[in-house]
Amino acid sequence: MDIVIAFVALVFAYLVRFDAKEIPFDQELEIFKKGLPVFLLVRGGVFYVFGIFKGIIRHTSFEDMKRVFLSVTFGTLILFFISFTKHFYFETSFLFPTTVIFAEYFICIFLLIVVRIAVKLIYVEGLKDNKKMIPTVIYGAGIYGLITKHTLEKDTRLNSNVICFIDDDEKMIKNRLEGLKIGHTSSLEKIIKKRGIKRLIVAIKRPNNINKRKVIDICLANNVEVLNVPDPRQWIDGTFSSKQIKPIKIEHLLGREPIKLDKDLLDDEFRNKTILVTGAAGSIGSEIVRQLTHYQPKKVIMLDQGESPLYDLQMELKENNKIHLTETVIGDIRNHKRLENVFKTFKPQIVFHAAAYKHVPLMEDNPSEAILTNVQGTKNLVDLAHKYKVEKFVQVSTDKAVNPTNVMGCSKRIAEIYAQSMNEKSTTKYITTRFGNVLGSNGSVIPLFKRQIEAGGPVTVTDKKITRFFMTIPEACQLVLEAGLMGEGGEIFVFDMGESVKIYDLALKMIKLSGLEVDKDIKIKITGLRPGEKLYEELLANEENTMPTHHPQILKAKVRTYNFENIEKEINELTNMFGKQINDNIVIKMKQIVPEFISNNSTYSKFDKNDNNTNTN
């Protein structure tokens, strides 16, 4: 086929040479006949060497076109060489007139490429079912947007008909990309209504998260399906296919600009250090371990009582060639002897304490376990960090410790108080970090909603007004690392969480992102507040205020101080009640230690009035 095209190009070149007028056949036909075998041999030979016929025509790419260009150029140079050699060394006529060879060169390239593009277009259009094609807009007019468009054209499984692009960059507006208009993200709603858009694909490398959320909100409000192109690092073997285009995740609506850390300072802080991470198999603990391994520590001691999740983390680190930086220890922070053996053996210089019981309803029913793990377990670690002269002790706390309304929050507040009071008498720097709900962590609301949606509903929300702060797991762990870096001891660091999110709205968006309709496909059921649950979370107590730090997203809480001997005595009395007292007595004692602990929607609310009067007096 290519040789036939080259022959046609030669004939056209003759027509151009003689302006399509009558060709002097006697002389020119003789030259044409003598030169044609050489021409076909050269063209055919060069085509064979360059392998231009091996490309699958329906998938013609830029590389195929480049190969065509190089093969025709090389073949033309050979033809010129033969023609001039024949004329000047053998004193005969040229192989072909020089203008014919020139014209044939350009016509041949043009025809070879046009035929390939035509076959590709016919193939692609033939695959399309125009009745089922979904009007689609691509968010991102950069390289990833272009790759996405090409992928959709080659692989029609998604049946997407790309109508236009949108982008945050105003400089690109009103331009065209491969013939398609580029609009600004602010004009998306107009484009949806005007062009009947039914699908949007997010294909932008570094989107402005505020704009991205607005775009997705507009799509959800207009029943437009939202899909997402994964990060190029997640492309299979470096290639991208339409199979990798997945529905947008709710995390993309809640995540904000990531925290920017000074990696050099973190490297100085953690390099060649022995670091103990408790709760290492949990959502936060495991991410702390992952991030610490980037800073070349001497050893990260991964301590957890969960055998299976700890094994999974161990296998992950092995696959990522990080296992040599870690040591795995099965252990319970409530077991003082086991912990002492860990401190004595490994002599950690830094401790990140992320082990805790965290589920509010469960701890409301089991206050004795809450104090044994969250209070006694933390006390064990705080005491041993002091005894073995640990440099820094960074405790992971929660926004539920602020003006606690439940047993879990109060137990975490008591743990905060003990660490702060120990800081006054120890050379170890005790630091606390507080943050809200972590997206995707074990037991968080998002995995629950996902399971409920997959099961056909209903999606359960405790109250229409209930709100929560959210952050991603990497964000939370970056905060912990930054606290370990900047902390001088005794501080409680809080994160600028932005605006709180209505859980009911979160449920609505997750249902819509699943391609379902509320009430029609999935119902939302209001179940009522659970024991100890707040409508609104707080990050600072009434008697606390904040001070800025060198990091704009991290604030330092100014908190009241406590006498170590007094608080130690109170905590010892509390923990000694384990197994000896009923739950009511344990909770009463907790309320005495933390006067601001006012139970909400709980059986323990009956103790608040008397307790508060006693504490006030």
Q: Which residues are catalytic?
A: 400
Residue 37 zone, left/alpha/beta (φ > 0; ψ -120 to 50; rest):
alpha
- Cα separations (Å) of 124 from 118, 133, 164, 200? 10, 13, 18, 21
Q: Rounded to 5 degrees, what angle do the CA atoms 597, 601, 606 make?
A: 65
Helix (H, G, I), strand (E, B) or coil at 157: helix
Query: In which element (H, E) is residue 299 found?
Result: strand 299-304
HSE (side-chain half, CA atoms, 13 Å) at 589 = 23
For residue 120, which of 62, 51, 45 has the smallest C-alpha distance? Answer: 62
Burial class (CB in 10 A: 0-12, 13-18, 19+), 455: exposed
Helix (H, G, I), strand (E, B) or coil at 120: helix
Q: Please report the sign of the dihedral spanned by the C-alpha atoms of residue 352, residue 358, residue 363, residue 364.
A: positive
The residues near 416 (Cβ < 8 Å, ≥ 6 apart) are 395, 397, 401, 432, 492
Distance CA 440, CA 445 (A): 8
Helical spans, DSSP H, in 435-502: 445-454, 473-486
Residue for token pair 């040591």: 327
Dump the DSSP string for 3-60.
Answer: HHHHHHHHHHHHHHHTTTS---HHHHHHHHHHHHHHHHHHHHHHHHHHTGGGS-GGG-
Distance CA 166, CA 188 (A): 7
For residue 166, which of 200, 193, 195, 132 has the smallest C-alpha distance? Answer: 200
Alpha carbon 101 to its chain centroid, in Å, reads 56
HSE (side-chain half, CA atoms, 13 Å) at 266 = 19
DSSP 574: H
